[in-house]
Amino acid sequence: MRKNTIIFDLDGTLLNTLEDLTDGVNHTLCQYGFPEKTRQEVRRALGNGARWLIRSSLPEEVPAPELDQVLKDYEAYYQEHCRIKTGPYDGILELLEDLKRRQVKMAIISNKGDGAVRELNRQYFSEYISTAQGVHEGIRRKPSPDAVLEALKKLESSPKDAVYVGDTEVDYETAKNAGLDCVLVSWGFRDREQLKLLQPDLLIDTPQELLRWLNCEVK
């Protein structure tokens, strides 16, 4: 059976959020007197959600209560400043337009906070994607398959009909845990050679490559 559903990761896949994420991390670190992180250091820490990002950005000796407060302040700042330097990668809007025209079902699943995910989808992709969710109560974060399976249920689709598109090892694990074919993109938060080692079903360098592949795979 051909595929008719695509589950997208958000950061590093549809949106280049690295600059705003780095600014948010460093703004918060400076508030607490901790040294700033480089963009590359932030890039390497992305994919596992905000807590992992902040834990990776703080000295190891910072205790859990202080970590919790730093995380809270980071999330509040980022929620208000998540669209300053962020934007879709080249070719993404054209890809989504083509998929919509083909009546392909689409959703966004992210380890980012649910409020930020919904706001970013509203700003950039709501014309194409109605189902977008981040981390929220009752659903385990990726690489658990929970959020993907919940989205498929909302879309009235199934794993055998769907493809997962992401940019990190977390996305690869999520796809496999949910029983979906996995497409990884090289323009995001991991280097191509790292992604190649995972042996995804498809590894692409441009959105146009995905579209050419989907011409054969999607209704």
C-alpha span between 162 and 21 (Å, rounded) = 29
Least confident window among 131-135, 174-178, 205-209, 212-216: 212-216
> What pLDDT digit, counting tens, does each position of 2-61 carry?
789 999 999 999 999 999 999 999 999 999 999 999 999 999 999 989 999 999 999 999
Tell me: do 177 and 94 sit in the same domain: yes
C-alpha span between 148 and 141 (Å, rounded) = 10
* SS3 letters across 95-154: HHHHHHHCCCEEEEEEEEEHHHHHHHHHHHCCCCCCEEEEECCCCCCCCCCHHHHHHHHH
Read off the CATH number of the domain in which 59 is found. Answer: 1.10.150.240
> What pLDDT digit, counting tens, does each position of 63-94 carry?
999 999 999 999 999 989 999 999 999 999 99
Tell me: do 73 and 153 sit in the same domain: no
| pLDDT at 212 (0 to 100) | 87
Tell me: do 99 and 75 sit in the same domain: no
Tell me: do 49 and 105 sit in the same domain: no
Tell me: do 10 and 28 sit in the same domain: no
| pLDDT at 136 (0 to 100) | 85
Structure tokens given for 25: 């991390």
Tell me: do 204 and 100 sit in the same domain: yes
> What pLDDT digit, counting tens, does each position of 151-181 carry?
999 999 999 999 999 999 999 999 999 999 9
Read off the CATH number of the domain in which 127 is found. Answer: 3.40.50.1000
Domain limits at 48?
A: 18-80
Which helix or strand (DSSP H or E) is residue 199 part of?
none
The residue that leads in pLDDT, 216 or 63, is 63
Tell me: do 69 and 98 sit in the same domain: no
Q: For the chain, how many structural domains are there in total?
A: 2
C-alpha span between 4 and 193 (Å, rounded) = 29
C-alpha span between 123 and 131 (Å, rounded) = 14
| pLDDT at 219 (0 to 100) | 55
| pLDDT at 43 (0 to 100) | 96
Is residue 138 within 8 A of residue 158, CB to CB? The reply is: no
Tell me: do 54 and 106 sit in the same domain: no
Tell me: do 22 and 10 sit in the same domain: no
**Cα atoms in the 13 Å half-sphere on the side-chain side of 83:** 12
| pLDDT at 216 (0 to 100) | 67
**Is residue 217 pLDDT above 90, yes or no?**
no
**Vertex 122: Cα angle to 213 and 86 (nearest 5):** 75
Tell me: do 66 and 94 sit in the same domain: no
Is residue 154 within 8 A of residue 107, CB to CB? The reply is: yes
Domain end point (choices 80, 97, 125): 80
**Is residue 218 pLDDT above 90, yes or no?**
no
